[in-house]
Amino acid sequence: MRSNLPPLNALRTFEAAARHLNFSRAADELYVTPSAVSHQMKDLETRIGTPLFLRTRKSLSLTEAGDVLLDGAHTAFGALSRAMDDLHALAHAPLLTVSVPPSVAMKWLVPRLDTFRRLHPEIDVRISTDNELPDLLSGDVDIAVHYSEGSYSGLVAELLVANSVAPMCSPKLLAGDPPLRTPRDLSRFTLLHDNGGDEFGNPDYDWGTWLLAHGVSEIDATLGLQFNTSADVLNAAVAGAGVAIGKTALAVDDLKSGRLVCLFNAVAPERAAYYVVYTGQAANRDKVVAFRDWLFQEFAGT
């Protein structure tokens, strides 16, 4: 079918001539001579095999074939025009690159990102998943959410949300048999371990240390399921695979919805927290300000 299409320039010339029903006015619009328009239309009619115009000494009108082609040309050029508008908007959309830990992206940011995109459709968001803080001064990343104890020399750093840790599990484990009422009851359940990142030495995040701190020495804390990210640990707990020591900041949606419950009244504040980090120069960019403000508004509801 595509091989039957006439040259695009001939169609463009036809559309102008058919719209004006005057070769001279079409020539003025296209910055060519009336003779060039006339020759192109004769070539186009020869290629198609049927007249497109009814020519008299005083007027120009379209044949039935000309009406059909003009309707198709309007549709095609309209679609091309809209596509070019979309491409122009895409090419000139502010690109915002956001660095977040993989678990933050999975458990918190991605499920909410559509709300930011609805508020700011003009901003093209790119997500970079990094446990380590990238070099913000290089300009490759505009803003980051970073998990740390809050030391950021030469950068703007704002506390986004504090974090606590606690044993947590699916409520269906509580409803079953055997019971899960005290730390010693964990001996009959699978322990879920997070091996995915530095927890800044918080003893409440390690099962072995946690159990000893709560007077339990008879459980082998090395057994259980091992995971590479905090998000995977929480998702396994939601699925009922066992009991996790989870971050409340990451599990906020699961805890609010009741997919997870904290156990033993043992929620412990953590030294590390989540910070929004960016450069002083980035603080003057509208796209960064918009994303920073949105983050704080969203976390205000957690």
* Whole-number percent of the chain with pLDDT over 70: 92
| Tokens 């419950």 sit on residue | 261
Alpha carbon distances (Å) from 6 to 60, 210, 241: 22, 76, 64
CATH of domain 2-92: 1.10.10.10
Q: Is the pLDDT confidence value at 88 over 70? A: no
CA distance 238 to 242: 9
- CATH 3.40.190.10 corresponds to the domain 161-271: yes
- For residue 202, what pLDDT is reported? 56
Q: What is the pLDDT of residues 31-61, one digit of tens each?
A: 999 999 999 999 999 999 999 999 988 889 9
- What angle (nearest 5°) sits at the alpha carbon of residue 286, between those of residues 280 and 290? 100
The mean pLDDT of 270-299, rounded to a whole number, is 92
Q: pTM of this prediction?
A: 0.66
Domains of the chain: which residue ranges? 2-92, 95-160+274-300, 161-271
CA distance 293 to 136: 19
One-letter identity of residue 60: L
- For residue 79, what pLDDT is reported? 85
The mean pLDDT of 95-99, rounded to a whole number, is 94
Phi, psi of 42 (to 5 degrees): -65, -40
Whether the domain at 2-92 and the domain at 95-160+274-300 fall into the same CATH topology: no
CATH of domain 95-160+274-300: 3.40.190.10
pLDDT band (50, 70, 90) for residue 203:
low
- For residue 1, what pLDDT is reported? 41
- What angle (nearest 5°) sits at the alpha carbon of residue 160, between those of residues 156 and 163? 130
